[in-house]
Amino acid sequence: MTTLAGFSHLSLSVIDLDRSTEWYREVLGFVIDSRVEGDGFLRNRLRHPSAGITLTLTAHEAGDGEPFDERRTGMDHVSFAVPSIEDLHNVKADFEARGIEHSEVKPTASGAGGMITFRDPDNIQLELFAAG
């Protein structure tokens, strides 16, 4: 069996690298760590200062330009943890002030926590989750 030491990073394919990078910076507080130019792609590596999460956003030259659809085989959504239900309500208020479409704060199956869902500029479904 393979031994895992933890989670390394999440890499998302995006249509417009600059637009998506700015959105993740403004909405979720990520900062640019580095920019990588490869054969047929351009990538920004982002880090979240308080969580230490690494998120890479990649624009592929051969991308089809279609927005994300979780009904296709592959990824369904990305969930980021927040410390508390209070944080979810603060995010909800911030989203409302910015005009970002989002769900209500929904309870988790156990009822102890909560979540709020929303989408990035490429229609990737995101979730903020408080365990409770």
User: Is residue 69 in some structural domain?
Assistant: no
Q: Which domain holds residue 11?
A: 1-61
CATH code for the domain in which residue 37 is found: 3.10.180.10
Token digits for 32? 């640019």
Q: Are residues 81 and 105 in the same domain?
A: yes
Q: Are residues 51 and 85 in the same domain?
A: no
CB 47 within 8 A of CB 39: no
Nearest one of 48, 15, 23, 7 to 98, comparing CA atoms? 23
- Per-residue pLDDT at 132 exceeds 80: no
pLDDT in tens, 20-33: 999 999 999 999 99
Split into its structural domains, the chain has a count of 2
**Overall size of the chain counted in residues:** 132
- Partnered with residue 32 across adjacent β-strands are 46
pLDDT in tens, 40-68: 999 999 999 999 899 999 999 988 888 88
CB 31 within 8 A of CB 25: yes
User: Is residue 34 in some structural domain?
Assistant: yes
